[in-house]
């Protein structure tokens, strides 16, 4: 049994990255940038008004000014501001020549094309050329996971065809003779396959290209065939079940036969101890425990950073330190515990009660995982705990 840190190092070391492709920037949400993006212009590209008001000379503010023109956003001013004159200007419009200040419309009165400033304390209200960004400046770095705000920046610098890393190709299998697909009604002794869809959903949410390979029966030959077949197309195979100590847990043996090098067999985490990570060249197998809470947990804490790195992004979990809302006690302390939890509106975190790692329903209101360090059996109400968003 190795620690989570050791497992993290193994799954994130010496990884290849997927190839690079050029895509439309509108489709790039959730993709990882494969190039640095630079601004192709100053921003703002010209001095512009930050308010609706009157552009004038600050030295004229005490006297009545003659209105020259109205400058709409997107239009060029045609008149230069001379002493004793002003131009009405809209937010975002280009400042006329010789103006050094814009008085907000609310602080003025206009009568017969003559403008008086009623409140003489005014800021300049000008967004100056290049104050946000200089032409040629780095705006988004390679390896950034693109979110809506990045899409806006790509749009603003005209980077409409960014290079991004290709999606990782993942195949998800569920092993177990007891499983039936979710659209079937299980007969006695069977259960619905919930892991398969959960893992597909977790991988899809990360922007991977995921195929669901179906339920694989607890049969050595069929399992071997399925793995060999999936390796032809996919970079990563994610399996659930079949790695414990049961009579029909064949996965470790088959990986060995296929000369896929098993690098992890079990991890000191709870839930999710029986986890297998294996590698053959640039093909990988993640075999997760069959219990749905365990499989969810291991995907979050290990498969996720691994898959992001294959796609070029150095993902790290966001860990918050929050007070726990009720005293929490656990039995064993030999493993790093992960407890599904809800972050409450008051900023505290509530550990969710769950019966065991099959109790997936407990996760319905979970938005986080609390981690309880090795050797710690209890946390008192109000104590700070590490909380990872999911
Ligand atoms: P295993 O790791 O194959 O020994 O399975 C451990 C437990 O998880 C057993 O109770 C299985 O029935 C259950 N289990 C395995 N695979 C799934 C699955 N795909 N969906 C829901 N439960 C599962
Ligand atoms: Mg099984």
Q: What is the CATH number of the domain that holds 57?
A: 2.170.190.11
User: For a pocket test of ligand 1, which of 172, 175, 176, 215 has the largest count of ligand atoms closer than 8 A to its C-beta?
Assistant: 176
Q: Are 202 and 162 in contact (CB under 8 A)?
A: no
Indicate which residue's Cα is closest to atom 3 of ligand 1: 241
Specify the DSSP class assigned to residue 13.
Answer: S
> Are 158 and 24 contained in the same domain?
yes
pLDDT one-digit tens code per residue, 245-264 = 888 788 888 999 999 999 99
Distance 289 CA to ligand 2 centre (A): 9
Structural domain including 28 reads: 20-43+131-165
> Are 179 and 99 contained in the same domain?
no
CA–CA distance, 18 with 200 (Å, rounded to integer): 19
> Are 150 and 71 contained in the same domain?
no
Residues 6+ apart with CB under 8 A from 263: 10, 11, 277, 278, 279
> Are 102 and 138 contained in the same domain?
no
Q: What percent of the chain has pLDDT over 90?
A: 93
pLDDT one-digit tens code per residue, 326-370 = 999 999 999 999 999 999 999 999 999 888 777 888 889 999 999
In a domain, 149, yes or no: yes
> Are 343 and 294 contained in the same domain?
no
pLDDT one-digit tens code per residue, 208-227 = 999 999 999 999 999 999 99
At residue 25, the pLDDT reads: 98
pLDDT one-digit tens code per residue, 27-72 = 999 999 999 999 999 999 999 999 999 999 999 999 999 999 999 9
Q: Which of 290, 315, 289 is nearest to 304 (CA)?
A: 315
In a domain, 235, yes or no: yes
- Chosen domain end from 77, 108, 127: 127
> Are 63 and 112 contained in the same domain?
yes
- Whether 356 is in the pocket of ligand 1, judged by its Cβ within 6 Å, is no
At residue 245, the pLDDT reads: 80
Where are any strands of DSSP class E within 190-257?
191-192, 209-216, 236-240
In a domain, 390, yes or no: no
> Are 55 and 76 contained in the same domain?
yes
Sign (positive or negative) of CA dihedral 73, 77, 83, 85 = negative
Residue position matching structure tokens 């400033």: 117
> Are 137 and 123 contained in the same domain?
no
> Are 89 and 145 contained in the same domain?
no
pTM to 2 decimals?
0.91
Q: What is the mean pLDDT of residues 104-125?
A: 94
């Amino acid at each position: 049994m190795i620690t989570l840190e050791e497992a993290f190092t193994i799954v994130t070391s010496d990884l290849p990255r997927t190839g690079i492709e050029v895509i439309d920037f509108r489709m790039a949400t959730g993709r990882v940038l494969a190039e640095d993006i630079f601004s192709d212009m100053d921003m703002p590209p010209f001095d512009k008004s930050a308010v609706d008001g009157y552009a004038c000379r600050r030295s004229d503010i005490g006297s009545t000014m003659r209105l020259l023109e109205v400058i709409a956003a997107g239009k060029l001013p045609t008149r230069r501001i001379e002493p004793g004159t002003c131009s009405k200007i809209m937010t975002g419009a280009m400042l006329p020549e010789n103006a050094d200040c814009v008085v907000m419309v609310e602080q003025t009165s206009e009568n017969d094309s003559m403008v008086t400033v009623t409140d003489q304390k005014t800021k300049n209200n000008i967004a100056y050329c290049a104050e946000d960004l200089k032409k040629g400046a780095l705006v988004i770095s390679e390896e950034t996971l693109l979110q809506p705000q990045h899409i806006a920046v790509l749009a603003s610098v005209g980077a409409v065809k960014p290079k991004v890393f290709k999606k990782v190709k993942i195949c998800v299998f569920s092993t177990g003779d007891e499983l039936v697909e979710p659209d079937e009604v299980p007969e006695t002794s069977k259960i619905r396959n919930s892991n398969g869809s959960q893992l597909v959903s977790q991988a899809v949410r990360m922007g991977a290209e995921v195929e669901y390979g179906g339920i694989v029966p607890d049969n050595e030959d069929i399992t071997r065939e399925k793995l060999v077949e999936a390796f032809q197309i996919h970079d990563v195979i994610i399996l659930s079940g079949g790695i414990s100590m049961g009579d029909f847990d064949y996965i470790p043996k088959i990986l060995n036969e296929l000369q896929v090098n098993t690098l992890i067999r079990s991890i000191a985490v709870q839930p999710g101890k029986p986890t297998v990570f294996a590698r053959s060249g640039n093909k990988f197998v993640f075999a997760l425990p069959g219990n749905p809470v365990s499989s969810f947990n291991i995907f979050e804490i290990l498969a996720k950073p691994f898959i992001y790195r294959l796609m070029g992004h150095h993902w790290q979990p966001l860990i918050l330190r929050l007070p726990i809302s009720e005293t929490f006690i656990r039995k064993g302390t030999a493993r790093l515990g992960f407890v599904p939890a809800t972050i409450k509106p008051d900023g505290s975190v509530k550990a969710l009660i769950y019966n065991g790692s099959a109790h997936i329903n407990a996760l319905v209101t979970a938005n986080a995982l609390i981690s309880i360090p090795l050797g710690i059996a209890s946390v008192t109400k109000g104590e700070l705990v590490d909380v990872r968003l999911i």
